């Protein structure tokens, strides 16, 4: 389950309004129909951090109900351990196949804080867990030593890492180093879409993908090429999408895929929780041009 393309759909949240559950169900169905390997509900792209316990529990249930048997991994991160434990319980009750946990912070966290969090959560879980390392949103920096400690906890099944070095030899060396640190059963998943091809080519087992949640076809093409050992083709697929990666770098991937989903008619135009205002008119126009040029709208 923690290999191949894990696609992270948006949770459409219109400004100060309620989750658009109908649009969300359709987004999930679309991913299942496209043949993604797993669906990452309530990831960063799914705006989990902005939603209440009740909203998250409903979104998890909708994801599982509409995934047509594709495994659903549900994000359970929260600032307080008690809230993480509740989200884990709700995800399990919804029928999630796994959970994804990031050490979200307000007060900076120590390594012991983070180890204690994962220790307590995994002790209370009956489904597998993905360790989610996303320093850009959590502001927590994992050390390799902490990776190794956490990966030995029960239920830990995968590690989602930040982008690997651009140099292929260094990227491969990094993955090999991580393999030696981690138990053999723990898969390694790359994140940061612009670095996905290099990550899969360097030996990562999975791609935890933002673009895959809105444009599953190009993400699948890239993933299947890398999985078949067609490394050049995977890099070509990624290179083709560079105008999109440029927009990701400039605005953050969430704002870009949110505007793209609205342009494709998959959601209403307002689909992000405030205070996130999304792209302005000029930025949207640029995105639409990119979507059309890359033929992502078909």
Both tokens of 124, joined, read 């209370």
Of 107 and 298, nearer to a second copy (C-beta) is: 107
114 binding a second copy? (CB under 8 A): yes
Burial-class residue 89 by CB neighbours within 10 Å (0-12, 13-18, 19+). middle
Q: Indicate the SS3 state at residue 100.
A: strand
Q: C-beta of 280: minimal distance to a second copy in Å? A: 8
- Could you tell me how many residues make up the chain? 298
Work out the number of other CB atoms within 10 angstroms of the CB of residue 155. 16
Name the residue nearer to a second copy (CB basis): 139 or 232.
139
Question: How many other CB atoms are there within 10 angstroms of residue 244's CB atom?
Answer: 25
Which of 24, 48, 147, 160 is an active site residue? 160
- From its phi and psi, is residue 110 left (phi > 0), alpha (psi between -120 and 50) or beta? beta
Tokens for 254, please give them. Answer: 């969430």
42 touches a second copy by CB under 8 A: no
113 binds a second copy per the rule CB under 8 A: yes
> In the complex with a second copy, which residue's Cβ is closer, 139 or 269?
139
Torsion-angle region of 208 (φ positive above 0: left; ψ -120 to 50: alpha; else: beta): beta
Q: Please, is 272 exposed, middle or buried when counting C-beta atoms within 10 Å of its C-beta (0-12, 13-18, 19+)?
A: buried
Q: How far is the CB of 13 from a second copy (least distance, A)?
A: 8
Catalytic residue check, 160: yes
Q: Are strands 38-41 and 4-7 parallel, antiparallel or unpaired?
A: parallel
> Any idea which residue has 């993604």 for tokens?
36
Tell me if 143 contacts a second copy by CB under 8 A: no
Q: Which of 4, 46, 98, 273 binds a second copy (CB under 8 A)?
A: 273
Distance from C-alpha of 42 to C-alpha of 282, rounded to nearest angstrom: 29
82 lies in the site for a second copy, by CB under 8 A: yes
Instruction: Please confirm whether the linkage preceding 108 is cis (ω < 30° from 0).
Output: no
Interaction pattern, residues 226-265, with a second copy; x per rule: CB under 8 A = --------------------------x-xx----------
Of 22-30, 42-50, 189-197, 289-297, which part binds a second copy (CB under 8 A)?
42-50
Smaller CB separation from a second copy, 67 or 114: 114
Of 32, 41, 63, 85, the one binding a second copy by CB under 8 A: 85
Residue 136 near a second copy by CB under 8 A: yes
Q: How far apart are CA 14 and CA 4, in angstroms?
A: 31
Please report, as residue ranges, which positions from 156 to 185 form the binding site for a second copy (by CB under 8 A).
none
Active-site residue, 132 included: yes
Q: Which of 3, 25, 50, 246 binds a second copy (CB under 8 A)?
A: 50
Sites of contact with a second copy (CB under 8 A): 15-16, 44, 49-53, 79-83, 85, 103-104, 106-110, 112-114, 116-117, 120, 136-137, 139, 252, 254-255, 273-277, 280
> Which residues are annotated as catalytic?
132, 160
């Amino acid at each position: 389950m923690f290999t191949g393309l894990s696609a992270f759909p948006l949770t459409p949240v219109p400004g100060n309004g309620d989750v658009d559950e109908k649009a969300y169900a359709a987004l999930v169905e679309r991913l299942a129909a496209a043949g993604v390997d797993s669906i990452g509900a309530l990831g960063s792209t799914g705006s989990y951090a902005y939603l209440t316990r009740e909203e998250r529990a409903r979104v998890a249930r909708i994801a599982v109900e509409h995934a047509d048997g594709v495994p659903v991994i549900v994000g359970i991160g929260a600032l307080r351990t008690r809230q993480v434990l509740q989200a884990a319980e709700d995800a399990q009750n919804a029928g999630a196949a796994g959970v994804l946990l990031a050490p979200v912070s307000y007060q900076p966290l120590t390594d012991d804080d983070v180890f204690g969090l994962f220790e307590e959560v995994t002790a209370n879980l009956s489904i597998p867990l993905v360790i989610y390392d996303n320093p850009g949103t959590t502001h927590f920096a994992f050390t390799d030593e902490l990776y190794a400690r956490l990966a030995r906890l029960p239920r830990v099944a995968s590690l989602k890492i930040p982008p690997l070095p651009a140099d292929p030899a260094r990227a491969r060396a990094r993955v090999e180093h991580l393999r030696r640190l981690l138990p053999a059963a723990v898969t390694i998943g790359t994140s940061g879409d612009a670095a996905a091809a290099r990550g899969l080519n360097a030996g990562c087992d999975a791609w935890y993908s933002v673009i895959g949640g809105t444009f599953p076809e190009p993400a699948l093409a890239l993933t299947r090429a890398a999985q078949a050992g067609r490394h050049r083709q995977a890099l070509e697929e990624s290179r083709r999408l560079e105008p999109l990666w440029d927009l990701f770098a400039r605005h953050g991937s969430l704002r870009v895929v949110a505007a793209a989903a609205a342009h494709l008619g998959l959601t209403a135009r307002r689909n992000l929780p405030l205070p996130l205002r999304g792209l302005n008119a000029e930025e949207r126009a640029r995105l639409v041009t990119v979507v059309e040029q890359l033929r992502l709208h078909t």
